[in-house]
Structure formats: C-alpha cells, structure tokens
Structure 1
Amino acid sequence: MNTARPSPIQGIRNAMTVDVEDYFHVSAFENHICRGTWDELPCRVERNVDRILQLFADHDTKATFFYLGWVAKRYPELVRRTQAEGHEIASHGWSHIRATEQTPEAFRQDVTRTRALLEDTVGAPVLGYRAASYSIGRDNLWALDTLRETGHRYSSSIYPVHHDLYGMPEAPRFSFRPGQGDLVEIPVTTVEVLGKKLPCGGGGYFRLLPYEISRWAIRQVNQRDRQAAVFYFHPWEIDPDQPRQTGLGLKTRVRHYLNLSRTEGRLKRLLSDFQWGRMDRIFLEQAVNPA
C-alpha cells in the first residue's frame, strides 16, 4: 500500500458530515445512562463543535452538520454559528431514538418536530436527515416515504454493510432514489473488496484502523468508482477528556473510547488529503439512478 501523501482526486469532492450529539446520547450507552438524567449531565457538545468549526475553517472545508433537536433546543446559537460559517444544517432526529424503535406515527412526529425547530433556528429550509445509528433498513423502509412526505429532500440513513446494530448489505453502495418521488438516499461509504462491501465512511472504523487504510479506501471510491465518498464523525470523538462511564462491557468500551486522542490528528490529515463539501451541494445537484 502506498503511504506517500496523495493529491486530492481531480474533480471529486467528498461529503464531510458531523452527527451532532453529546457523549451521553450514543446508542451504546442507552442501557447505562437514563434519558431522564440527560439534563443533569455535564454537556461538552458546544465546546467540541466549536473546535470542529475551527478545524474546518483552518482547512477551508464546508460540511453538513446533522443536529439532534435536543442539542439545537439548548444551544440555538451554536446552530446559528454553524450555519453562519457556511455549513449545511440537517436533522438527526430529536433525541437519538432509533427509527427501528419508533412507530410510523412517532417517527413522523419526531422528524417533523426536529425539522421545524432547526428551520426556525436558522431561518432556512432543512433538506437532509440521518437516522440515529443508521436505523433505516429493509424492515422499515416506510420511514423514507415519511421523510419525503415531511419535506426532506435526502436521507443518509442506510449503511450497506453487515453489523450487529444496523445495516442493509443489499442496499446500493451509492446514492439512489428509493421508490417513487424525489427523495434521495445517500448511504455512508463502503469500499468493495473481493465482492464484499467494507465500511470506510468514518465512525469507530476510522478510530480502530490505521489512517492509511481509510485513505486508501476513499481513494479507491474516488478513483475506481468515480464516486464521492460520505464520511461522518461525532463531536465526542475528538474529546478524550469526556466523562468516563462505568459498568460498560468490553465491546462498548472499545467502540466508544478507542483512540479518541488520535481522532483530531487523523481528521486533519483527512481534510488535507481529499476535497470536501456539503451533502446538499454534492448530491442534490447530480442525477441519481432509481433503485
């Protein structure tokens, strides 16, 4: 594998995204931190997003921030700062409840409430949505119809991989129109190796594996597939000093805490090695094939 620093792929701009939630919102902690205690916990999301905004400014990068309604309600100025710096504001739902755990009516109320709050906060349309823990898949594709009906233009809620918590491996690797209408589903990026889809779009995999593997995989997507990649991370992933939870299983501890101290440095390399932009400007302006 070539470890020399590459030049950005000519003509390919990838999508940089941030799922704006605090450390205690994550699905892995839902059996350890009661939702009723969230208001009592020390929040770190504002300072972490401010660090991310500075990081993006230093690298002349615009991104899409998928905000939880819970965060936006408490930190409206943070949302407005994000928009003022040229980033896209999108929805991550209200309080990080997985779509698989909601009835159709509860899901509709959740996405409608969140979109309305974000639009009132920034005074502009909110077009995008990402489900908590990529929790739209083969068993609840009705959620995509609901998103279309509630005014969303795109979703980034399907991860076409095998995973113990989420995944729809038979889904297309790249953006597609599910069913009728103009809603676009934009999966998180995978790389194809020996006929298998392997994750390379950020999150825990970005922290677990050496940076060179992520860089190689994204270059494969850009060069071989001639497609834009979708990358995501969370504000808590650049915060190694966040409060540590006790009583966690080994898998949960590894998934959440591994290499937090290295994430920001890796992000700086990623921002230098590739060209990045907002979801709406990359995907809503290009034609996609129907599923």
Structure 2
Amino acid sequence: MQGRITPADAGETINAMSVDVEDWFQVQAFAEAIPREEWDWLSCRVEANTELVLERFAEAGVRGTFFTLGWVAQRHPALVRRIVAAGHELASHGHGHERVDSIGAEAFRADIRRARRLLEDAGGVAVHGYRAPTFSIGPHTPWAHAILAEEGYRYSSSVFPVKHDLYGAPDAPRGPHRPHPDGVVELPMTTVRAFGRSLPCSGGGWFRLVPYRLFQAGLRRVNQVERRPGIFYFHPWEVDPEQPRVWQARRLSRFRHYTGLDSMVPRLDRLLRDFAWASMADVFAAEIGEPEPALPQTAMAG
C-alpha cells in the first residue's frame, strides 16, 4: 500500500495522510447542541463527502488511512468497501464517537471491539489502527493502550501534544512512543516547537485557520530540520461548505467548524502536491511492526 512519492527525490520525507470518517453532526463541538438520539434523523452527508475525498486522493495519486466510525460502517458498508478498493488503509475511529476519558475502560473495550468487527466485516480486511474521538486518550486513560493491544490493535494515533480546551496532552512525547509496556505504540499528532511550547501542525481545523504558507513552513521544518514524518488529518465534512448550520452551538464552536470550508478543497489539493504522502501503516511500519501470525487451528485447540 504505497502512496505517491514526489518529486523523485529518494531523500524526501514521506508523511502520513489520514481522514477521520465521521459526519457533520457527530463532532464534539456540537455534542451539547445535537443529542445523540437525533443522529439517525439528520441529513447524512458523510458518504458523498468521503467520495469527494477519495476523488481528490485519486487525482493526486495519494493513498492514506481512513479512521472510520463503526457507526458509519454499519450504515454505509459500501463506502467502506470503496475505501479499501481504492488501496487505502482502513482503521478504526471507535463506534459511536464517544470520548474515551468519559466512558471508562470496559465501555471503551466494548466500543473498539464493536467498531473493529463492523469495519472488518464491511471492508474484508484486518483493522490494526485506532484513533480516539476528540483525541481523548491521555493521562486520564492509562489503561487505553493496553486494552487496544488486548483487542488486537497494533497502533494508536490518539494523542495531540498541545493545550486545547477540548483535548490535548501538552506534556506527552511528540514522537512515536509506547505509553504502556503491554500496550500498542502511540503515533501522536504533529507539532512544532516555538516560543517554548508545542504548536499544532496537523488537523483540518488548524489547517483552515492559519495561512497556508505558515502551515507549509511548519511541516517542512518537521521534515527537513527534525528529519521525521508528520501526520495530517481532516474530516470529510471539512470539504462540504454547504452542510447544515448548527446555530444553537456556541459561537466559538461555530467559528472553528465553519471557518475556511469554502477554501478547504483547493488548499488540500495544494498540500497533496507539495508533500509526499502515504498511509499510517506504510510511513510508520518500523514502529508498528508486523502483525502476529495466526496460530494453527490445532495449536489453538490444544
């Protein structure tokens, strides 16, 4: 599963491109404004928006990782199959977009188990990667990485080493690490160090809010000065400026969610051209390692 590598410079760093597949009404910023019970009654736009993302990736020759909700896979299994058929890595975003630090260890185990089953049944491939909704794994969830390993996952990309009102673990390592000795490896979101703190250099929200050249300079610094790959992520709803407006949400939440939607597609196209991209599994193959071989049936029985 190899993404486009351009220009033809063997020394160019390949970054990880990822998509968090969820719908516009499932974002944490709207959790207080849109009850979970109403999700099935709202206009579902995730399928069409993800199709647009697949088209932009195909045009650029880029393959990435799609961290998909089990909730989405259950309702749109054909979309999951199209993601896999296009050569992208299928990974888990949990089932119901519930914060890990709010539901507790046992509910978390049930959530990731259910999501993995739905994704693998729909996609016909093994799912090894996980990203927590709203980056809700951190100091308050010391059990999470071990549970992920117990449930058959091989890596997590669930920590954002920044300070934010909705998420963030500013004291977490900025590079791949293993928070629990018996757990999966953590691949945190990309940051740059400036003014004595870690600043975000990943994510559609930050990408839409800052000038493109500033974001470009940050990622180039990570690649060329720190000599390590970055991780970029965004959501299908971010390529959809016509999505419904949630006027009852907080003003700050509306500002973060809707600002820059009109320019997201051309900015994304430019980002796909300006850097080399591949999936999480390809970029971090050395850190993730190979999956354990399945035991023969006789050994399992004995």
TM-score band, normalised by the shorter chain? over 0.9
What is the distance in 2 between the residues matched to 1:286 and 1:104? 25
Partner of 2:210: 209
Deviation at 1:192, TM superposition (A): 1.1
What is the distance in 2 between the residues matched to 1:190 and 1:8? 26
What is the distance in 2 between the residues matched to 1:59 and 1:243? 29
1:256 aligns with 2:251: no
Q: Secondary structure at the match of 2:286?
A: coil
Deviation string 1:72-123 (CA, Å, 9 cap, x unpaired) is 1000010000000000000001111010111211000000110111111122
What is the distance in 2 between the residues matched to 1:8 and 1:255? 37
Retained in 1: the 8 A contact 2:145–2:180?
A: no
Deviation string 1:134-168 (CA, Å, 9 cap, x unpaired) is 00011112111111110100000000011111111
Q: Secondary structure at the match of 2:252?
A: helix
Runs of 4+ deviating beyond 4 Å: 6-9
Deviation string 1:210-260 (CA, Å, 9 cap, x unpaired) is 111110000000001111000000000010000111222220110100010
What is the distance in 2 between the residues matched to 1:49 and 1:269? 18
What is the distance in 1 between the residues matched to 2:158 and 2:142? 10
Q: Secondary structure at the match of 2:115?
A: helix
The code of the aligned residue for 2:196 comes to G
Deviation at 1:286, TM superposition (A): 4.2
What is the distance in 1 between the residues matched to 2:179 and 2:198? 20
Retained in 1: the 8 A contact 2:70–2:92?
A: yes
Retained in 1: the 8 A contact 2:176–2:287?
A: no
Give the root-mean-square deviation of aligned CA atoms.
1.6
What is the distance in 1 between the residues matched to 2:269 and 2:276? 12
Partner of 2:162: 161
Structural mapping, 1:187-202, within 5 Å: 187-202=188-203
Retained in 2: the 8 A contact 1:21–1:68?
A: yes
Question: Against the structure 1 CA distance between its residues 122 and 47, is the aligned structure 2 distance closer, same or farther, given a 3 Å change threshold?
Answer: same
Partner of 1:246: 247
Retained in 2: the 8 A contact 1:8–1:273?
A: no
Please, what TM-score do these two structures have when normalized by structure 2?
Answer: 0.91
Q: Secondary structure at the match of 1:61?
A: coil
Question: Against the structure 1 CA distance between its residues 165 and 8, is the aligned structure 2 distance closer, same or farther, given a 3 Å change threshold?
Answer: farther
Partner of 1:229: 230
How many residue pairs get matched?
A: 283
Question: Against the structure 1 CA distance between its residues 287 and 149, is the aligned structure 2 distance closer, same or farther, given a 3 Å change threshold?
Answer: closer
Retained in 2: the 8 A contact 1:7–1:273?
A: no
Q: Secondary structure at the match of 1:237?
A: helix
The answer for unaligned runs of 5 or more in structure 1 is: 1-5
Identity of counterpart residues, as a percentage? 50
